[in-house]
Amino acid sequence: MQAQERERRRNELTLKEIESLPDDVATYKSVGKMFLQVDQAVVVKDLKKSIEQSIDTSKGLEKKQKYVERELNDCSTSLRDIMHHGRDR
């Protein structure tokens, strides 16, 4: 989750910087080991899409974390009950 948050923040900062540039400034996109010149609008669109995906992924991970924590608590409670009933015998 922290990695997703860092990635989202990095993309937001990059987007802010790109949007502050004049429209005639050349922008490049990394493709493997090379860079391709692309329109600034394409870079902005890709960054916004990446930010949205990071937010969606973070929300999904938070839901999974809450589910796992609930399951852990339920299992711990069940184990304590089993141990408690075992001592009573």
List, for residues 45-89, the tens digit of each pLDDT value: 999 999 999 999 999 999 999 999 999 999 999 999 888 887 766
Closest C-alpha to 49, from 1, 2, 20, 7: 7
- CATH of 2-88, picked from 3.40.630.30, 3.30.1300.10, 1.10.287.370, 3.40.190.80, is 1.10.287.370
Q: What is the pLDDT, as a whole number, of residue 85?
A: 83
- Is the full-model pTM beyond 0.85? no
